[in-house]
Amino acid sequence: MASITLRKEASPAPSSTSSLPEYDYIGYDFEALGLFCETDQPVQAAFVRLDECLDVVKSINLKIERNPYAVPGPKALEVTGLRPSDLHGDDRVSEFEAARKVADLVGRRSTAERQKKMLIFGYNILSYDEQLLRYFLFRNLQDTYLTTGKNARRLDLYPAFQYLHFISPGIILPGQKDDGTLSWRLSDVMEANGKVSENAHDAEADTLMTKDLLVDFIHGAPNTFNKIVELSDKRTVSGLLGANMHGENFVFEFSHFGMPEITPLAPMAKVGHSGYKTLGVDLAVHPREWMSMSAREIADNLYRGDSPFRIVKHNSCPLIFDRNDADLRGRLDEIQYRSKVETYERRAEYIRRPDIVRKFQEVTALMEQGARDKFSGRKVTREAELYNGFTANEDRNLCRIISEEDDWERRMPQVAKIKDPRIKEFAGRLIAMSAPEDLVREEDLLALREQYALRLNDEDDSGVVQTIAIAEQELENVEDPDLRAECAEMLKTLRLEFAAQIRKIDERIDDLKAFEIAQQEKNEIDLELFV
């Protein structure tokens, strides 16, 4: 979007608490060992629950011990201010215990709370924290979709504040970088709005800072707040896109990657059998720029930075608005930007010709085939199989019983009943790491062994696991020389420890097999006594 001088407006007076939206508010933030959200573990988790007055009524701040097979990313440690030695200690709980506590806070709702929609909020959570949370719960036998469902809503304040600044400048102020450009980093935004914290990149501090900004947002722009929250419901998004997929109709899309931009978007075709993605085209680009392209050429250009084609994921809280949205249209007319609505309507109607619509439908088929080709035959961890199907109710109930029970002796009969191979492997890892040695089975040891082996594999290119080799490559980007040296030594030690653990596991498996053989021979001898 072209550089625009925005007119700042005075913040509205706070609303009364009786007019606040009826939500069960839950905010959260994670600090983690890296950016591989499928397999990297959180090392700190902070969650808060707010009442109808937006006051904190319950909170947890969990420091989490590093899993024995996890590889800390040097850059992640630098960002969070942690040292390798900080990842173990009496003040830290296991990842499994942390997941239990999170599930308890989020999932245990009173009768009154269950009458309301649940609103999960945070800052920049959609790009990382939300997925990290899902895999964190999945790996630790908790309800993976605890924060989703027809009565759940999500609010990422990072894009929301940028849209708010565009449409109603002055309610939430952006920060400033050293070069004078705008900054939407949480600590900078807090400072610009008079809410200073000395603990940036601390999960608890970030969650409480985000909560304070949320209060200002709700009081200052309740209509915008409600619109954005409802766009986290994929049914709302699907309805809006479906209603604007024909004739002269289109929507406005706000994007915040790089320079914020408003795009007049013509939805053209649904993607996949579920239809929860939509392929569209930017009407600000004249159709002659792309009309001659084949379906294959369009598919090959979908992800280019200057591409006129857009993919809207219905469940990713896209900021899309009806072209007649009064607030947005008023702002666009005011700044004379993207205000040629009649031109966009003519273009939308023109490109809805049957031959062009068929071309876009061909593109969606190519997209689906490309996705299948990309992931077929790829070796993945069990975490990466999260979306391979819902966990059956029977296994979910078994996981609940295992989680509620504290004694491994009583957990083991429930573990034995699990049928889902993903859940079975996760349980096996936990048993191998935490259960008394006499309860550990060969399959549990193999599940844990695989985790060590994956991270020792220097040739891994799955993009799912942070291996030691990948962490070593990060070292040159660590600015703190002392931390760089500590991390180099840590990674060298982990190489030796992981190899030693694999040897130890192999020896234990050999011992188990030898014991089974001896036991079988004894049973055969005992039977012979009765012959």
The predicted pLDDT at position 9 comes to 41
Model confidence at 393, in pLDDT bands (50, 70, 90)? very high
> Structure tokens of 137?
């719960």
Model confidence at 526, in pLDDT bands (50, 70, 90)? low
The predicted pLDDT at position 466 comes to 95
Mean pLDDT of 53-65: 93
Is the pLDDT reported for residue 284 higher than 80?
A: yes
| Residue position matching structure tokens 């007049």 | 264
Is the pLDDT reported for residue 196 higher than 80?
A: no
Q: Is 117 helix (H, G, I), strand (E, B) or coil?
A: strand
Euclidean distance between CA atoms 94 and 67, whole angstroms: 8
Q: Give yes or no for a contact between 45 and 102, defined as CB atoms under 8 angstroms apart.
A: yes
Predicted TM-score of the model (pTM): 0.89
The predicted pLDDT at position 14 comes to 43
Model confidence at 107, in pLDDT bands (50, 70, 90)? confident
The predicted pLDDT at position 18 comes to 47
17-224 and 233-375 in the same fold: no
Segment holding 301, helix H or strand E: none
Residue type, 135: Y
Q: The domain 17-224 belongs to what CATH superfamily?
A: Ribonuclease H-like superfamily/Ribonuclease H (3.30.420.10)
Q: What does the pLDDT look like over 261-280, one tens digit per residue? A: 999 999 999 998 777 899 99
Euclidean distance between CA atoms 501 and 508, whole angstroms: 10
Is the pLDDT reported for residue 493 higher than 60?
A: yes
Is the pLDDT reported for residue 352 higher than 60?
A: yes
Model confidence at 206, in pLDDT bands (50, 70, 90)? confident
The predicted pLDDT at position 529 comes to 63
The predicted pLDDT at position 149 comes to 82
The predicted pLDDT at position 199 comes to 66
Question: How crowded is residue 103: how many other Cβ atoms within 10 Å of its Cβ?
Answer: 18
% of the chain at pLDDT higher than 70? 92
Q: Give yes or no for a contact between 409 and 453, defined as CB atoms under 8 angstroms apart.
A: no
Euclidean distance between CA atoms 367 and 451, whole angstroms: 32
Q: What does the pLDDT look like over 407-421, one tens digit per residue? A: 999 999 999 999 999
Mean per-residue pLDDT of the chain = 90
Contacting residues for 201 by C-beta, under 8 A, at least 6 apart: 31, 79, 80, 81
Burial class from Cβ neighbours inside 10 Å (0-12, 13-18, 19+) for residue 526 reads: exposed
Task: For 484-506, give the DSSP string.
Answer: HHHHHHHHHHHHHHHHHHHHHHH
CATH of 233-375, one of 3.20.20.140, 3.30.1520.20, 3.40.50.300, 3.40.50.150: 3.30.1520.20
Mean pLDDT of 357-386: 83
Domain residue ranges of the chain, discontinuous segments joined by +: 17-224, 233-375, 383-461+479-528
> Structure tokens of 269?
């075709």
3-state helix, strand, coil in the chain (%, to 5): 50, 15, 35
Is the pLDDT reported for residue 295 higher than 60?
A: yes
Euclidean distance between CA atoms 452 and 88, whole angstroms: 18
Mean pLDDT of 512-524: 81
